[in-house]
């Protein structure tokens, strides 16, 4: 196991803007938090491992590609695992949490957001690089565009101009291009469309705290469409389906947004963490002690897990790449994040 230390600052505020941590999370006894897998074929639950610290993020593609982030005593930890060989590695980031993890098995690389910029972790724990260390701004939202072999990301605000900026950085040549500049707003990439032609991003107006989801045509940078601006976004899902659907929650309600049409569907009236399956057919979400599965059109809601009798809580569910399993975190304490 290789340990690498970095000094972080305060950009983690981006992650915490719509979240509030319960002070009961101060208990860090062993076994109080477990990362588990729910098998949709057998309706069974298995434990991956116990975690002592607060889990901020968790991504499971398949048994060879599993990664999560924890935070304790001002140190963020990135843990990568191969569940077949039990090979794993950890990287430690001092000074703040790490978040916004993006895992790309096709290039064996993890991208993540830290307080001092965007990092890449190649071969999962062999080479760690701060991709934005020379640009003097706080960046977030790494999104890999495979058709261009580039990484896009946005910054909070450049203080001198109050402009929000989305940058494209070629991963081979390191050439930087500016894709978008917006006066007085924060712009953060969240997904690319399945065909790699459009970048989906959020635009936050600090004067009103309104958050819009927009689409930028990567081959015509003047072509920008607003997909939604009327619903305040509390939390975005981790996944984008192959037919370009995403899920988000707003004040405890779960919505599915079709990126190609802008259609928005209310699929559940009570939910905090939500993710959409890769085929776009199912949505998983939690409500404190329970986890539910529902069709993406809002039909056929089914309870998968209930931990209320055990006084336990579940959160951070996300689908595996084949949609046959769901990774989740189980805890004795509700230290998750409250939607506002």
Q: How do residues 277-309 score in pLDDT, each as one tens digit? A: 999 999 999 999 999 999 999 999 999 999 988
Q: Is the pTM of this model over 0.85?
A: no
Phi and psi angles of residue 23, each rounded to the nearest 5 degrees, phi first: -65, -15
Q: Which residues contact 288 (CB under 8 A, 6 or more apart)?
A: 272, 308, 313, 314, 334
Q: Give pairs for 206-212: CB < 8 Å, separation 24+.
A: 206/157
Per-residue pLDDT band at 146 (split at 50, 70, 90): confident
Cα end-to-end distance, the chain, whole Å? 39
How far is Cα 51 from Cα 36, in angstroms, rounded to an integer? 11
Residue 262 scores a pLDDT above 80? yes
Query: Would you say 238 and 229 are in contact if contact means Cβ atoms under 8 Å apart?
Result: no
Q: How many helices (H) and strands (E) does the chain have?
A: 1, 28
Q: Which residues contact 6 (CB under 8 A, 6 or more apart)?
A: 92, 93, 94, 95, 114, 116, 119, 128, 130
Could you report the per-residue pLDDT of 236-260, keeping only the tens digit for each?
A: 888 899 999 999 998 889 999 999 8
| Domains in the chain: boundaries | 32-51+106-331
State the Rg of the chain over Cα: 19
CATH class of 32-51+106-331: mainly beta
Could you report the per-residue pLDDT of 99-127, keeping only the tens digit for each?
A: 888 888 888 888 988 877 888 888 655 67
Could you report the per-residue pLDDT of 319-338, keeping only the tens digit for each?
A: 999 999 999 999 987 754 43
């Amino acid at each position: 196991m290789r340990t690498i230390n970095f000094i972080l600052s305060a950009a983690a505020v981006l992650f915490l803007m719509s979240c509030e941590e319960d002070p009961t999370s101060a208990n860090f006894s062993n076994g109080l938090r477990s990362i588990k897998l729910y098998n949709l074929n057998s309706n069974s639950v298995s434990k991956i491992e116990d975690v002592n610290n607060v889990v901020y993020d968790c991504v499971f593609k398949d048994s060879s590609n599993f990664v999560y982030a924890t935070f304790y005593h001002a140190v963020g930890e990135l843990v990568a695992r191969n569940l077949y060989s039990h090979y794993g590695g950890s990287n430690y980031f001092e000074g703040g949490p790490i978040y916004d993890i993006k895992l790309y098995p096709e290039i064996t690389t993890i991208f993540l957001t830290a307080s001092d910029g965007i990092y890449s972790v190649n071969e999962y724990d062999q080479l760690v690089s701060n991709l934005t260390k020379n640009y003097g701004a706080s960046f977030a939202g790494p999104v890999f565009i495979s058709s261009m072999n580039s990484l896009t990301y946005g910054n909070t605000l450049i203080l001198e101009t109050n402009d929000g900026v989305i940058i494209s950085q070629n991963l081979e040549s390191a050439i930087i291009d500016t894709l978008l500049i917006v006066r007085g707003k924060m712009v953060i990439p969240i997904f690319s469309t399945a065909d790699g032609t459009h970048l989906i991003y959020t635009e936050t107006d600090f004067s009103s705290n309104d958050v819009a989801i927009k689409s930028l045509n990567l081959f015509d940078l003047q072509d920008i469409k607003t997909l939604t601006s009327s619903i305040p976004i509390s939390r975005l899902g981790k996944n984008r389906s192959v037919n370009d659907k995403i899920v988000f929650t707003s004040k405890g309600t779960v919505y599915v947004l079709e990126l190609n049409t802008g259609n928005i569907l209310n699929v559940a009236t009570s939910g905090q963490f939500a993710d959409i399956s890769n085929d776009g057919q199912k949505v998983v979400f939690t409500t404190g002690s329970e986890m539910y599965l529902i069709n993406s059109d809002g039909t056929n809601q089914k309870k998968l897990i209930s931990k209320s009798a055990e006084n336990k809580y579940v959160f951070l569910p996300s689908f595996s790449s084949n949609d046959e399993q769901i990774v989740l975190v189980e805890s004795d304490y509700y230290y998750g994040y409250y939607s506002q």
